[in-house]
Structure 1
Amino acid sequence: QQTAFKMVLEVVSNIMKFYDYLLRRTDIRVKDYPLMQSPVQMTAILFGYLFLVLYAGPRFMANRKPFQLTSAMIIYNFSMVALNAYIVYEFMMSGWATTYTWRCDLCDYSNSPEALRMVRVAWMFYFSKFIELMDTVFFVLRKKHSQITFLHIFHHSFMPWTWWWGITLAPGGMGSFHAMVNAAVHVIMYFYYGLSAAGPRFQKFLWWKKYMTAIQLIQFVLVSVHISQYYFMEKCDYQVPLFIHLIWIYGTFFFVLFSNFWIQAYVRGKRLPKHSEKSSINGDATIIPNGKHLENGTMVNGNGIAQNGKVKEV
């Protein structure tokens, strides 16, 4: 027992040492931004999110009628369009359209105006992931509890958690490319969701819904191809290579799974029947407003898993 106790103490000690090391590595330029003083704050918020959408919210709505929230969803979606458009612009002006080579771009840890601008937009992208938690809150208030799947919850909680470490250790450089692309995709997707939420009179403007799936595939291709350059360069001194590996795995994994959805849905034509599509606001079996979830598969704010070509809102 004493040996086991010592082993536990050693493990805890090593974890704390690693935690202290990460905090020492924290970019001092982001320490004054909200939710950046330590990972404790954002972790507490995410645990609160899980408690709300998995327990407190469903209990609160148990004996209540679902809220319609049409106006709120329209405002929310178009606000996200504006926010993500601004994020894309700032990423471009912070390096991607100015000084970056689009190859082995390192993090700039200086206090130059461009470097500080990159830090700011990286934080904005990170903070936008907390705003996107409202996607799930809308489901709870509309009593779409069965649509709040593990993958939906995992994505919405995992993205802001991992991005805290991203901008803490490496705000900018080639690792920020996927964020810029993701924000660009969100501009298109939230615009689609906003029109969908606006009602049937806007259906005639949504003829391009099929191409939303293609946009997803293009996103994963761009991210995977760009980050794959790292493995073929003779030398690239990107400061935190762990993020390169994670981004590559993420982009490739989702491209493969979402390609399967494309094949099942559009090549083999395995789409849901019309009466099943009425569960979504816009009746679209591919893109669901404020849900971003495909079953058997998931599309969550521009990132998705798809299997068997069956589609369902979350």
Structure 2
Amino acid sequence: MAAKVLDRLSSFYSWAETIADKRVADWFLISSPIPTLCTVALYLLIVCFVGPRFMKNRAPYEFGIFLSAYNFFLVALNYYITKELIWASTAAKYNYICTPVKHDSYDVNEMRIANALWWYYFSKLIELMDTIFFMLRKRSRQITLLHVYHHSTMPILWWIGVKWVPGGQSFFGAMLNSGIHVIMYAYYGLAALGPQVQRYLWWKKYITMLQLAQFSLAIAHTARSIYSGCDFPDWMHWAMIGYSFSFIILFSNFYVQTYTKNKTKKSESIAQKSGKKMK
């Protein structure tokens, strides 16, 4: 039974290879899914099993200025991706309602978009280090289901995106997400500089609000694309909508737990203290 399933999967993948984008076939890490799958599997193994045991009886590691440098590097990388996608899609006269993938086009702007999407995919592999740093610093509160789900699925999904649709409608979600990540990693980079900077960082909750807006826009853009009958794989459209909905649910829960409930508890605590003083 297992042999038949594997044989069918192998046959399906062989067929899928025939419709993959030939322009990126030989790009680093794109020819085979094995490196990406192995990287994500290793990530989950470290985060779920090896890391907690390794850190159990150890003091938190301090990374000093390196942590800020890491975050600001990701600011620069995401800025580059965002800039390339905006300028190249504008130069290529992309339509925000529907732009099919031009698999046979080696136009300079089409290749800039494909290259930016490859960097976007690769950035998701780099960002796996976010969790490793949280783990080594014993910030287990930040290693949530949302965090691990997001980090472990994005590299796989965007490997698929780059291999089969490195252009067209794919640009929009990557452009939005990279733009948000410029702001998010700027926040983390500044926060890593220490308490003297952290006290000025009042805008963390607005990053979550921007992320929720991002997923809502992605759903609206994809739904409009489906409605228009855009020549883009329907299963990818629906997968994008389902994936974005899962993030809206998880990020909404995170927002409520982090900012709404905590604010209520803080108000109740202040009220109780005030009541005691009056007595």
TM-score for the superposition, normalised by structure 2: 0.85
* Residues 146 and 251, structure 2, Cα contact 8 Å, conserved in 1: no
Instruction: Tell me: CA distance 1:48–1:257, structure 2 relative to 1, closer, same or farther (3 Å).
Output: closer
Cα shift readout 1:247-301 (whole Å, capped 9, x = no counterpart): 1222234335544655676677745549xxxxxxxxxxxxxxxxxxxxxxxxxxx
- Aligned position for 2:15: 21
- Aligned position for 1:246: 239
Segments of structure 2 that go 5 or more residues without pairing to the other structure are 268-279
Query: Which AA in structure 2 matches 1:33?
Result: W
Instruction: Tell me: CA distance 1:203–1:49, structure 2 relative to 1, closer, same or farther (3 Å).
Output: closer
The aligned runs of 1:96-111 (5 Å cut-off) are 96=90, 98-109=92-103, 110-111=105-106
1:51 aligns with 2:45: yes
1:137 aligns with 2:132: yes
Once the 2 structures are TM-superposed, how far is the Cα of residue 133 of structure 1 from its aligned partner? Answer: 0.5
Once the 2 structures are TM-superposed, how far is the Cα of residue 186 of structure 1 from its aligned partner? Answer: 0.3
The aligned runs of 1:231-270 (5 Å cut-off) are 231-233=226-228, 235-238=229-232, 240-259=233-252, 270=263
1:224 aligns with 2:212: no
Instruction: Tell me: CA distance 1:264–1:41, structure 2 relative to 1, closer, same or farther (3 Å).
Output: closer
Give the whole-Å Cα distance in 1 for the aligned partners of 2:60 and 2:181: 27
- Aligned position for 1:177: 172
The aligned runs of 1:74-93 (5 Å cut-off) are 74-93=68-87
Query: Which AA in structure 1 matches 2:242?
Result: I
Segments of structure 1 that go 5 or more residues without pairing to the other structure are 1-6, 275-314
* Residues 96 and 102, structure 1, Cα contact 8 Å, conserved in 2: no
Instruction: Tell me: CA distance 1:54–1:209, structure 2 relative to 1, closer, same or farther (3 Å).
Output: closer
The aligned runs of 1:52-67 (5 Å cut-off) are 52-67=46-61
Cα shift readout 1:147-204 (whole Å, capped 9, x = no counterpart): 4344422221111011111111111111321111000000001111111111122235
Question: Higher RCO, 1 or 2 (CA under 8 Å, sep at least 6)?
Answer: 2
* Residues 195 and 202, structure 1, Cα contact 8 Å, conserved in 2: yes
Instruction: Tell me: CA distance 1:148–1:261, structure 2 relative to 1, closer, same or farther (3 Å).
Output: closer
Percent identical residues: 42
- Aligned position for 2:274: none
Instruction: Tell me: CA distance 1:8–1:203, structure 2 relative to 1, closer, same or farther (3 Å).
Output: closer
Cα shift readout 1:177-233 (whole Å, capped 9, x = no counterpart): 111100000000111111111112223532333322321222122211111102322
Query: Which AA in structure 2 matches 1:175?
Result: S
- Structure 1 moving runs of 4+ over 6 Å: 263-269
Greater helix fraction, Structure 1 or Structure 2: 2
Instruction: Tell me: CA distance 1:133–1:33, structure 2 relative to 1, closer, same or farther (3 Å).
Output: same
Q: Residue 189 of structure 2 is aligned with which of 190, 194, 212?
A: 194
Cα shift readout 1:35-65 (whole Å, capped 9, x = no counterpart): 1120011111221222222333333333321
Give the whole-Å Cα distance in 2 for the aligned partners of 1:124 and 1:166: 12
Give the whole-Å Cα distance in 2 for the aligned partners of 1:257 and 1:249: 13
SS of 2:150's equivalent in the other structure is: helix
1:30 aligns with 2:28: no
* Residues 95 and 118, structure 1, Cα contact 8 Å, conserved in 2: yes
Once the 2 structures are TM-superposed, how far is the Cα of residue 102 of structure 1 from its aligned partner? Answer: 0.5
1:208 aligns with 2:181: no
Once the 2 structures are TM-superposed, how far is the Cα of residue 67 of structure 1 from its aligned partner? Answer: 0.5
Give the whole-Å Cα distance in 1 for the aligned partners of 2:141 and 2:207: 24
* Residues 88 and 113, structure 2, Cα contact 8 Å, conserved in 1: yes
* Residues 30 and 162, structure 2, Cα contact 8 Å, conserved in 1: no
Query: Which AA in structure 2 matches 1:167?
Result: V
Give the whole-Å Cα distance in 2 for the aligned partners of 1:199 and 1:138: 16
TM-score for the superposition, normalised by structure 1: 0.77
